[in-house]
Each structure stands twice: as structure tokens, then as C-alpha cells.
Amino acid sequence: MSAQPVPTPVGLPIVIRDMTSDDVAAIMAIEHRAYEFPWTDVNFLDSLRSGYIGRIAERQGGELVGYAMLMPAVDDLHVLNLCVAPLFQGRGIGQQLLRDARRVALSRDIYAVLLEVRPSNTHAIRLYERFGFHEIGRRRNYYPARNNTREDAIVMRVKVKREPVNDVAV
């Protein structure tokens, strides 16, 4: 994937590039500011070692402002983690990362992008809906929550290209 500056809707130039293990310390700083139940550095490093696709959004000059961890599967590109630093939310960076995920899916001939989101994360849900995602199901007790409880996940999917027609006679 190329790293090209892309202006966000409010004019903040952003470069999207591949994630490396050297990015994990900066990712963890954002992860802990953005989430009550963050991933660990081991989650990110294991994902990279497993061949998952890490993508970084950074300002020109190298300041990391967002990231996504993507897992290619047979028919879906699964967004495992997508995060924008709290100070940079609402500036179109999440949209840039979703567009980048779409490009990754298309480059691998994958037909759809899939993700889970907490029902309580209404800002993210609105972003995903604007991008064309729709709810296809729920995962019960998927996320850790306060007071040693669990929160469901909404499973959302968007098609990024037409699936081929299977001409096999039955």
C-alpha cells in the first residue's frame, strides 16, 4: 500500500501507511486514552506476526493519530480495531481509515468489510452507517464492561464489490 497525504474534510493532511512493530508504543498511548478496555501491545504484535494488516494514519511530520488492524478472510475483511486519537476525532480520520480498509479489501478481491461495535458507541455506529455499513447480527456478551459485566457487539457489514454469481447447477 502506498503512503500518500490525503487531506481530511477539515484540511488536516493525513498519510495512511503500513503499521510496523515500531508503531506499537505510540498506538498504546492512543489505545489507553481512547478505550476503557484497550487492546494490549501483545494483541497488536501478535496480529502483525500473524499476517494481519495494520494501517497507520499520521499527520505529516510523523504524529500518529489513528490506526486500524485488519484481518483478511475468505469473503470479508474484518476490522479488528479501528481507533482515532481522541484529540483528532471528528476530523474525518476514521473515514480515511475506512476508505483505506475498502481499498485493502478491493486489492485482495474481498467482497465486504465486517466489524463489531459496542451498542454504546453511538458515534462510531453513525460513522459506520454513513459509510454504508448495516447491522447483520449481534454477538452476546462480546466486550468487557464496567462492574465485571459484558456488553454485546453489533456486527456490521458493508459490501465493497459485487460477489460473483456461482453458476454451479444443483
CA 101 and chain centroid, separation? 7
What cell does 170 get? 444443483
Q: Which of 35, 111, 116, 151 is catalytic?
A: 116
| Of the candidates 115, 111, 121, the residue with the CA atom closest to the CA atom of residue 97 | 115
Q: Which of 31, 58, 67, 128 is catalytic?
A: 128
Is residue 63 part of the annotated active site? The answer reads no
Answer yes or no: are the C-beta atoms of 125 and 157 closer than 8 Å: no
CA 131-137-142 angle, to 5 degrees, is 100
Is residue 129 part of the annotated active site? The answer reads no
Q: Which residues contact 88 (CB under 8 A, 6 or more apart)?
A: 12, 65, 66
Residues annotated catalytic, as ranges: 116, 128
